[in-house]
């Protein structure tokens, strides 16, 4: 049995059926008849030497051995799919991963890059919680401490921002901020606390709204929802277009930074050096 080829089509049918636990829905997804799906599963059961499903009046249930096998087969199948998808990528496509909070800075740069280099294309994947791994990516923007060998992009510097419509003609003081809704990029409100501490000010924050990313908090500020603590670099274009106003000159460094890591070695894809140089050039 072990010398027989692995029945990949049957494994795919098993994974789809295990997800639905219904032959009709599995057949619809696979564009096969119920009988064809049943035969594929039977082929895999014969290859393995044990049953994968128990059939009941209300549908299918995984057997104990089927349930134990499912996560391993699923992981292996997804790994093969990822490897083949990666191999099928055109040579001129670069795979870039970046945290969603960097989009306000990153997207305009990518638009300008592809306008100047028409044979270069970037496939962008956004994530909420960036890490430093480059598996299945050519480059990644990371936030926090700069990893060894990374390319520095910019340091995080925070200052309050709000929509111009919320301001009147008189100068705004730090104490006046208490009249607004405070927009937070984190639940612990550490960005606001850091800036207020640097100003040696204690301020009651009576109205608060929390978001999962700084980008969402900035977007709410643009809509006039309240005052957000924003990175100066990320809101540079919003300040220039006066979608936002930074009423104070004071900014505070958080100690965090945005950095770029890229694939190295003989298998470095074409145009990767161009992408790295473009993103690392000063604004």
Same fold, 8-88 and 93-153+257-280: no
Domain 93-153+257-280: what homologous superfamily? Answer: Periplasmic binding protein-like II (3.40.190.10)
Structure letter (DSSP) for residue 245 = B
Q: Which of 181, 170, 193 is nearest to 228 (CA)?
A: 181
Three-state SS for 194-208 is HHHHHCCCCCCCCCE
Domain ranges of the chain: 8-88, 93-153+257-280, 156-254
- Supply the CATH classification number for the domain 156-254: 3.40.190.10
Is 3.40.50.300 the CATH classification of the domain at 8-88? Answer: no
Beta strands in 145-214 (DSSP E): 151-161, 182-184, 208-210
Three-state SS for 91-122 is CCEEEEEEEHHHHHHHHHHHHHHHHHCCCCEE
pLDDT of the chain along its 283 residues, tens only? 446 788 889 999 999 999 988 888 889 988 989 999 999 999 999 998 999 999 887 778 999 998 899 988 888 888 887 767 666 655 568 889 998 889 999 999 999 999 998 888 899 988 765 555 566 788 999 998 888 889 999 999 999 999 999 988 788 899 999 999 999 998 888 999 999 999 998 888 899 999 888 889 999 999 999 999 999 999 999 999 999 999 999 999 999 999 999 988 766 778 899 999 999 998 7
């Amino acid at each position: 049995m072990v010398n027989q080829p692995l029945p990949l089509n049957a494994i795919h049918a098993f994974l789809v059926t295990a997800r639905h636990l219904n032959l009709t829905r599995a057949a619809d997804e696979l564009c096969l008849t119920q009988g064809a799906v049943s035969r594929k599963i039977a082929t895999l059961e014969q290859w393995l030497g044990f049953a994968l499903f128990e059939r009941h009046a209300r549908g299918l249930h995984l057997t104990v051995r089927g349930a134990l096998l499912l996560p391993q087969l699923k992981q292996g199948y997804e790994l093969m799919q990822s490897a083949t998808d990666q191999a099928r990528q055109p040579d001129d496509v670069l795979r870039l991963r970046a945290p969603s909070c960097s989009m306000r800075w990153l997207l305009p740069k990518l638009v300008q890059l592809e306008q100047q280099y028409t044979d270069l294309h970037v496939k962008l994947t956004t994530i909420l919680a960036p890490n430093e791994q480059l598996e299945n990516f050519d480059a990644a923007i990371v936030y926090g401490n700069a990893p060894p060998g990374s390319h520095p992009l910019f340091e995080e510097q925070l200052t309050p921002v709000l929509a111009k419509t919320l301001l009147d003609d008189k100068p705004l003081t730090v104490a006046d901020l208490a009249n607004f809704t405070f927009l937070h990029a984190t639940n612990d409100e550490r960005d606001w606390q850091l800036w207020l501490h640097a100003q040696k000010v204690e301020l009651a924050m009576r109205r608060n709204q929390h978001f999962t990313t700084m980008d969402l908090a900035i977007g709410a500020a643009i809509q006039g929802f309240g005052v957000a603590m924003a990175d100066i670099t990320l809101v540079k274009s919003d300040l220039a277009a006066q979608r936002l106003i930074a009423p104070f000159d004071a900014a505070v460094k958080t100690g965090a930074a945005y950095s770029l890591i890229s694939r190295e070695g003989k298998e470095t894809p074409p145009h990767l050096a161009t992408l790295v140089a473009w993103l690392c050039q000063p604004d």
